[in-house]
A and B are shown apart, each in its own frame.
Chain A
Amino acid sequence: MSAARGDAPVSTTGAVGTTGAVGTTGAVGTTGAVGTAGGDVPAGSDVPAGDHSPAAALMDQVRREIEQEVRRLRASGVFPPSFERRLEDTFAQVVPTGVIERETAAALRHLESVSYVDVEVPTASNLPGGSAAKQLLRRLMAWYLDYLAAQLNRFMASTVRVLHLLDERVSALEAAAPVELPPPERGAPVDLGAWADLVVERLSTAPVGAPRSVLHAECGSGELLRRLSDAGIDAYGIDPSADLLDQAVLATVGADARGVGLGLDVLWADPLDHLRALEDNSLGGLVLSGCVDRIEVGAQRELAALAATKLRPGGAVVVLGITPGAWLARRVGLDGPGPGLVEADLAPGRPLHPETWAWMLGSEGLSNIEVLLGPSPGPGSEPSPAPADLELARIAALLSGPTSFAVVGTRPAAHPWP
């Protein structure tokens, strides 16, 4: 899955080079590349950091144009999100068990470092001739010890590998198991259209900087993204559902007469992975929806932290979520049919109150926090409920309050901490 968008700077951490994951796409750690190893550049080893030569400028320009070309191909449907998913899924099918998994624990690293038999037995001796005798003995026994050591090292390497796998399985059990919800459940229950005007208004003053710098995660089939684009806001979207993204692209291919970017600019990516891979201060605006309601509390807090670090000063984040009350209402089936029950039961996390999001964004250093409550559930929010259900829905509205909310925060121009 894409770790970062084409034209967005990619940080050097949390990527292939540091996790060891071997995917078909994703960021690569460049830690230790030129400029980080000190001043001992060999004869001819150049391209130092901060190279401002005409050649370097040309290469930067070429890279930007390549990114634009990729965006054009994505938007025109040549590279639909399902293409990238196919590459990843196919690769996952052909690799051995354990390749596409997370890094192992530090304790196992230490175990590995000591799980090695060194056959070079020390030969120092305090006795006259003792050292020579030991050396002779070592040479005579080398064929035997080498043979044994090779077998032992192979055995220990395999044993350590088994421990790695066990550790990963235990870790997976300890964590709240993320559930792959069926497609109808994966989208945001929030009515994005109802919030579109507010989102456009809050993000229309996104600070200038990198092009197309407003991100909507998760954008689903692109409804809100389209509103942002229509308002002239340079925006792109990500979503973990390649099927929804394909719809987003196909629905708009050829519909825009402005020439560049015939479809919506969307990427198949997980919100957390994508945000982690982005360089700090790279987004002019951020809309979070869908994922905010169903991920674990730790991940929700990380989302808030990432929003604060990835936004440029002056940039705003808008969190669109469903209220816990509405979630419970869905759970008892008062404001919607069956599928809501599945999501409520199986999602690894639960919606947070808007005040909690406001507190988290504020604690990450964002300012001008606003909490806006959406419409209460009731007639019109669901298709043609039966009269009895209508009454129940009204009761639910009274009990559970608004269905959805928006929490807006802005990154201050100056860093708030000393």
Chain B
Amino acid sequence: MTPGVHQFVPSLAPRDAIGAHTLAVQALLLEMGLRSEIFAGEVRSGFEGRARPYRTYGAKFDRAVLLYQGSMGSPVADYLLARPEPKWLYFHNITPRRFLEAWDPGLGMASATGWTQLRRLAPATTAAFANSAYSGGELRSAGFVEPVILAPLVELTGPDSEVDGTALGDLEAGRGGAELLFVGRLSPHKGQHLLIGALAAYRRAYDPHARLHLVGGAASQTYRDSLVRYAAELGLGEAVRLTGSVTGAELAAHYRNADVFVCASAHEGFCVPLLEAMSHELPIVALGSAAVPETLGGAGVLLDYPDPKVMAAAIHRARTDQDLRGAMALAAKRQLDRLGPLAARAATTAAIRDALARLG
């Protein structure tokens, strides 16, 4: 029988980095001549038929390798732990509970559970992959030996991507000043509230007509509500645009419209939008937390701490200093060459072959 590598994922959802990575890995596995199916804890609307309920795997008994796309806690991990097949893990990182629990106790618990499951998976896993050196360090702390670092295998929204003309037209019609952009779920650890503070400082010092576009669905509705109130209380209700989840073409329109990509995340396992911003040649200002420095790789202004005044000054500098923009563009090209889809695909292929060979 042809060898198989089947993937298990807590949730397969459109416009989600883990979902996109899982589908891309499946395509690669099939190209490598391996059998590969996806089993998910839940399959969100839009991806029906792309995965099967994870509990249906038990009927196969085909002795394949089971590759877990791990992040927050999930019953899928418990299911895998009870399976006898060889197991691999690709670690997308776990948002620390401390960022979540006060806003959403359920999310905080999912984080704590994720770490518990990770430690249980360590001795049961024959190969472990992490999306960054930072995440690799966390795997080691959970007991994994020699995790292999592989950038996530996702197609980037780039300058050649289809652009939603209507969305772009609306964005351009509303322009009055600088357009700041962040892409990511609305969640406390992503620090969108810090970006609103930075916008307030930027408008005060440099550009009273600047706007901030926060693209992404709400991981925490409580946090989203607080962001809306925060912006309104600061008199920025019209200047802060919360788009919710958008299509790929709408996302491309936002990248096309933006002047500066800003990121105040306190925790990122990788941060794919940084690469997308690089591909659009956007100047980037980001907080140097978790894996952000290694993903950014000099392609943006990295800040040590989230001071809205410093971030505002950095945004101004990144937008107006042509020499700096040139240096960032060069670094961005290097990062895209090293971490982009082509490089990630080659590295992932080699890693899978190596892991299979070690299985014998």
Chain A interface (Cβ < 8 Å from any Cβ of B): 2-4, 6, 9-10, 15-17, 19-20, 22, 24-30, 32-34, 36-38, 40-47, 51, 55-56, 58-59, 62-63, 65-67, 69-70, 73-74, 78-79, 83-84, 86-87, 90-91, 93-96, 98-99, 101, 103, 109, 112-113, 115-116, 118-120, 122-123, 135, 139, 142, 146, 149, 153-154, 156-158, 160-161, 164, 277
Flag whether B169 is at the interface (Cβ < 8 A). Answer: no
Q: Residue B62 at the A interface, CB < 8 A?
A: no
Interface residues of B (CB under 8 A from A): 55, 58, 73, 75, 78-79, 81-82, 96-99, 101-103, 105-106, 108-109, 112-113, 115-116, 132-138, 140, 146-151, 188, 193-194, 197, 200-201, 204-205, 222, 226, 229-230, 233-234, 266-267, 287-298, 301-310, 313-314, 316-317, 321, 324, 327, 330-331, 334-335, 337-340, 343-344, 347
Closest to B148 in A: A40
- In contact, B229 and A94 (Cβ under 8 angstroms): yes
B227 nearest CB across to chain A (Å): 8
Per a CB cutoff under 8 Å, which of B109, B267, B327, B343 touches A112?
Answer: B109
Shortest beta-carbon distance, B96 to chain A, in Å?
A: 7
CA of A25 to CA of B205, assembled, Å? 17
Contact A44 B334 (CB under 8 A): yes
Tell me if A62 and B321 are in contact (CB < 8 A): yes
Candidates B293, B301, B303, B324; contact of A34 at CB < 8 Å:
B293
Minimum Cβ distance to chain A for residue B16 (Å): 21
Of the residues B113, B204, B226, contact of A83 by C-beta under 8 Å: B204
- A44 B343 Cβ-Cβ under 8 A: yes
A20 engages B98 (CB within 8 Å) = yes
Determine whether the beta carbon of B301 is less than 8 Å from that of A101.
Answer: no
* B303, closest chain A residue (CB): A63
| Residues A32 and B339 in contact, CB atoms below 8 Å apart | no
Which 10 pairs between the two chains have the least Cβ-Cβ distance?
Answer: A44-B338, A20-B98, A37-B137, A42-B149, A157-B109, A120-B78, A94-B229, A44-B339, A161-B105, A37-B133
- Inter-chain contact total with CB atoms closer than 8 Å: 266
Q: Are A45 and B75 in contact (CB under 8 A)?
A: no
Known: A37-B133, A45-B297. A70 touches B309 (CB 8 A): yes
**A16 and B266 in contact (CB under 8 A), knowing A55-B327, A161-B101?**
yes
Give the residues in chain B near A135, CB-CB below 8 Å: 58
Determine whether the beta carbon of B310 is less than 8 Å from that of A46.
Answer: no
**Please, which residues of chain A bring their CB within 8 A of the CB of B324?**
58, 62
How far, in whole Å, are A27 and B313 apart by their CA atoms in the complex? 17
Residue of A with least CB distance to B226:
A94
The answer to whether B133 and A24 have CB atoms under 8 Å apart is no
Interchain CB contact under 8 A, A96 and B55: no
Tell whether A79 pairs with B234 under 8 Å between CB atoms, given A37-B137, A43-B151: no
Which residues of chain A have C-beta atoms less than 8 A from B115's C-beta?
113
Question: A34-B293, A45-B294 are known contacts; what are 4 more A-B pairs with Cβ within 8 Å?
Answer: A17-B96, A44-B343, A70-B310, A120-B79
B338 touching A33 by the CB < 8 A rule? Answer: no
Cα A158 to Cα B105 with chains together (Å): 6
| Cα of A17 to Cα of B293 in the assembled complex, Å | 15
Measured CB to CB, the closest approach of chain A to B21, in angstroms, equals 14
Residue of A nearest to B150 (CB): A42
Asked if residues A46 and B297 are in contact (CB atoms below 8 Å), the reply is: yes
Cα A27 to Cα B289 with chains together (Å)? 10
Contact in complex: B291, A33 (CB < 8 Å): yes
Contact assessment for A38 and B140 in the assembled complex, using a CB-CB cutoff below 8 Å: yes
Give Cα A144 to B75, complex, Å: 14
The answer to whether A45 touches B132 (Cβ under 8 A) is yes
> What are 22 contact pairs spanning A and B, CB under 8 A?
A10-B305, A37-B138, A38-B137, A44-B335, A44-B339, A45-B151, A45-B338, A55-B330, A59-B327, A63-B304, A65-B317, A66-B310, A73-B205, A73-B309, A86-B234, A95-B103, A96-B102, A113-B115, A120-B75, A120-B81, A161-B101, A161-B105
Report A53 CB to chain B, min CB distance, Å. 8
Min Cβ gap B196→A in Å is 9
Query: With A38-B136, A66-B310, A156-B109 known to touch, is A45 a contact of B301 (CB < 8 Å)?
Result: no
Q: Within the complex, what minimum Cβ distance (angstroms) separates B25 from chain A? A: 16
Tell me which residues across on chain B come within 8 A of A95, comparing CB atoms: 103, 226
Task: Given A22-B99, A25-B307, answer yes or no on A55-B204 (Cβ-Cβ < 8 Å).
Answer: no
- A42 with B133: CB separation less than 8 A: yes
The answer to whether A45 touches B149 (Cβ under 8 A) is yes
Per a CB cutoff under 8 Å, which of B73, B294, B296, B306 touches A28? B306
Nearest Cβ on chain A to B285's Cβ, whole angstroms: 10
